[in-house]
Structure 1
């Protein structure tokens, strides 16, 4: 059968079967890894009898574990992936992610939330769904340690300052509350095998688009310096890391004056103007000299 499938894929679909990744396993005694999910036929332990109803309304007993396909998230592989990405040690103990400590607090929280949401959104249907609490715990405490490294405080003081949900309040220049960012914490660990079949999106499937909205670019727009629209493929984004570093406390110099006056972290420019910016040839540029002011 494997050879027939290989021939069909090659002759009809022009696809090549990867021999290294393709193997035959016994569905009851072995597990198969497919699309990051462990598959096995039959649950562990003795088969259970459940009372169910057929299409005619007649009730009957059936085995609930004997031939049921078990789908589980590969927790050891997930822990190894988190370890490789710098969220925890090889033993699964949370650690600070040093590479993110230089970011703004709200950016750090949103990045950790996106990782937590992504994993939970992908594995919402698995049978060992409740065990993913371990993943959320690692990300939660890794976030706390990263914030602690940023503010040079201990992890308990981080939770005391930002709360269990690690909530950060963004304020405007007048000190008024503008936006609140919290780490995504899931509290519903009830198994839902049909999660991926539901047409109505549950709360776990509502992925925030704020990261995209905060970092979206105008790369399809013409160059705001020379107005070049001939080659959109050459449009690039010139950006700075933090607008707050261009505040009144520190006098902005060079082309950063333009970014501070526009109150923008990035602007679309053509490749030629981008190179001139980094060479300092646009340091004396004025707002009136620009082709248009990006909004």
Structure 2
């Protein structure tokens, strides 16, 4: 089976510029050569200086290739993760009731968006939820809260992170995020209860389910709260890949795309 790919002359194709801005953070993507992107960067710098009285912060403005380095923007990692022009797979197809195997072309060169793992870990380190290497630790400042409040706090963090990254192509990194939060929560409970980790999980279960009473006038209602891991969120229907899938893949994917961002 012979498959041919068309070839293109990069300087002659359309540029398809992309511009995204959020406060002083911005991202500019264009389908061109590095030499031309340097000229564009200089023009942007001159425009900011002459018309807006702003200076481009060269220490925080980067030019990156979308395939070799990718770029990070607002906690998202944007990159072409596969460097293959195409892949060929042997697929079982049904034709008039009979199953036959065919070699089908599966394109794989597309830019995808994933959660930026390093940024999430840095934010956790600031809150003292984990160490720099991602190892979860207990938060002593939160150990003064009631047990169910501690679990609620960690659960809300997990739900917030999942909601923020729900549109990403690949959410696999959130498995590690939920692990860090779950074990940090257990260690925070262990600090409060002065118990070991094994005792905490034995007492509250693998998802740290805690029951508590709520008084409403003369009535007492029994409630419970538990931490939801990324696997639990998928099982309970919080994450629907078919509806929330979002990928950047255009006809010009095979060509170099350069990003640079940051204005100060």
TM-score, normalised to structure 1, is 0.54
- 1:181 correspondence with 2:225: yes
- Note the 1:270-289 alignment, pairs <5 A: none
Q: Is the 8 A contact 2:77 2:113 kept in 1?
A: yes
More strand by proportion, 1 or 2?
2
- Secondary structure of the equivalent of 2:157? helix
- Note the 1:172-211 alignment, pairs <5 A: 172=214, 176-187=220-231, 188=234, 192=241, 195=244
**Offset at residue 13 of structure 1 (A):** 6.3
Deviations along 1:131-175, whole A, 9 cap, x unmatched? 221110111011011111111111122122222221221214699
- 1:34 correspondence with 2:73: yes
Partner of 2:108: 65
- Note the 1:1-295 alignment, pairs <5 A: 1-9=40-48, 16-44=55-83, 47-49=86-88, 63-66=106-109, 68-172=110-214, 176-187=220-231, 188=234, 192=241, 195=244
Is there any run of 5+ residues in structure 1 with no aligned partner, and where? 52-60, 198-295
Bigger mean CA offset, 10-19 vs 177-186: 10-19
Alpha-carbon distance in structure 1 between the residues aligned to 2:45 and 2:245: 29
Q: Is the 8 A contact 1:43 1:65 kept in 2?
A: yes
Deviations along 1:78-117, whole A, 9 cap, x unmatched? 2233233211223322211111000112221121112111
Alpha-carbon distance in structure 1 between the residues aligned to 2:190 and 2:82: 43
Bigger mean CA offset, 25-34 vs 93-102: 25-34
Bigger radius of gyration, 1 or 2? 1
Alpha-carbon distance in structure 2 between the residues aligned to 1:94 and 1:192: 28
- Aligned-residue CA RMSD in angstroms? 3.3
- Secondary structure of the equivalent of 1:153? coil
Which of the pair has the greater relative contact order for Cα pairs under 8 Å at 6+ separation? 2
Number of aligned positions between the proteins: 188
- Secondary structure of the equivalent of 2:64? coil
> CA 1:87 to 1:176, structure 2 compared with 1: closer, same or farther past 3 Å?
same
> CA 1:130 to 1:186, structure 2 compared with 1: closer, same or farther past 3 Å?
same
**Offset at residue 12 of structure 1 (A):** 6.3
**Offset at residue 11 of structure 1 (A):** 5.9
